[in-house]
Amino acid sequence: MPLISMKQALEEAAKGGYGVGAFNVNNMEQIQAIFEAAEELNAPVIIQASRGALAYSKMIYLKKLMEAATELHPDVKAVLHLDHGNSPETCKQAIELGFTSVMMDGSLKADGKTVADYQYNVDVTAEVVELAHKTGVSVEGELGALGGIEDGHGAGLAVDDTEHLTDPDEAVDFVKQTGIDCLALAIGTSHGAYKTTRFDADGNALPPRLALERIEQIEKNLNEAGYPAFPLVMHGSSSVPGDLVDIVNKHGGNMPKAMGVPMEDIQFGIQRGVRKINVDTDGRIAMTGAVRKVLWETPEKFDPRDWMKPARAALKELIKGKMTDFGQAGHGSDYEPISMEEIAKSYK
């Protein structure tokens, strides 16, 4: 089955009232694990690559790996998405290579760190929309700025910062002026494993404070403005499971105490219009723990297959859990794919 558009995947998710996990990849084993999980659970899925991933593996490698995956798993409905494109030029490169969706993150300047002003965000995002929609490619925009740094991208803000959260009163204007297909919100989530500076009296990490009420207000504003069921996106949604962190640390790792986004907070968002949920860090921790365990317990091993196989298996199980919790499991056969050509015509 050919890759599908993000627009279709999220519109169908809205009809079904579920979220679709967007999982970051850098290599073959990650793509294999995610596609196997999607096939076993009959789930649609979004595969995404950041600029850091593309610098590591090159766009063309990921494109060819995705082609192999779609050939081996013809029943899986998958979107190939550029995560945090920093400029129209980066988005254009991804579109030309066959990505079916791109994110123009105009919340930050092209350096990926400096918070941009509102008009800059509108201008660069609208430019990408005009380019992408000609070929049916979906566009994600971001309003507000996320904290943390991942793959060199992020504002590095404290997680309880309120200055750069999404302004509900700007959301409608932003969607209207840019023509985006989905909107990433800044509600206090952040990139990376260390999402909180809050601890209890015993030193245990507490969940980050999330402005969940903003999701409700933004959904309400969009509905009232004539954008019913408009897809919202939650970035930085890894939960940083303690059992996976323990595996890393037990086998020579040194991950400090951390706390990610509770699943109940993510599900709260899904009930209120969040349709795309980005997860990267949890997969990294799962794979790292599996690799460390093999090398710690069997130091004589030197064949990469000896540790990449369990790493792939660990990621697959993690992804299956996320797909179940997000509600996308079982929905892979709900609809027939619409070609990118037909999607392009619908934009016109």
Q: What tokens does 124 get?
A: 């660069």
pLDDT of residue 201: 64
Q: Per-residue pLDDT averaged across 190-196, rounded? A: 54
What totals of helices (H) and strands (E) does the chain contain, helices first?
Answer: 13, 8
pLDDT of residue 329: 98
Q: Per-residue pLDDT averaged across 188-208, rounded? A: 59
pLDDT of residue 40: 98
pLDDT of residue 159: 42
Q: Which amino acid belongs to residue 320?
A: K
Catalytic residue at 83?
A: yes
pLDDT of residue 160: 45
pLDDT of residue 57: 87
Mean predicted lDDT score pLDDT of the chain: 90
Say what percent of the chain tops pLDDT 90. Answer: 76
pLDDT of residue 91: 96
pTM: 0.91
CATH architecture of residue range(s) 6-240+259-280+314-347:
Alpha-Beta Barrel (3.20)
More confident residue, 95 or 163: 95
Tens-digit pLDDT profile for residues 136-185: 999 999 999 765 434 444 444 444 445 579 999 999 999 999 999 999 99
Q: Per-residue pLDDT averaged across 295-323, rounded? A: 98
pLDDT of residue 202: 64
Q: What tokens does 161 get?
A: 């910062």
266 Cβ contact list (under 8 Å, min separation 6) = 19, 234, 237, 239, 274, 277, 325, 326
Which run of H or of E encompasses 94? helix 88-96
Q: Per-residue pLDDT averaged across 105-111, rounded? A: 93
Tens-digit pLDDT profile for residues 30-41: 999 999 999 999
Q: Return the percent helix, strand and coil in the chain, to nearest 5.
A: 45, 15, 40
Name the band, by pLDDT with cuts 50, 70 and 90, for residue 54. confident
Name the band, by pLDDT with cuts 50, 70 and 90, for residue 59. confident
Give strand pairing partners of 138.
101
Give strand pairing partners of 277.
21, 234
Integer-rounded Cα radius of gyration of the chain: 19
Cα dihedral sign, 5-68-311-56: negative
pLDDT of residue 89: 96
pLDDT of residue 348: 85
pLDDT of residue 151: 43
Q: Per-residue pLDDT averaged across 212-231, rounded? A: 96
pLDDT of residue 197: 52
pLDDT of residue 142: 97
pLDDT at 4 over 90: yes
Q: Per-residue pLDDT averaged across 82-94, rounded? A: 95
Q: Per-residue pLDDT averaged across 205-221, rounded? A: 84
Q: Which of 83, 151, 181, 282 is catalytic?
A: 83
Phi, psi at 340, each rounded to 5°: -65, -30
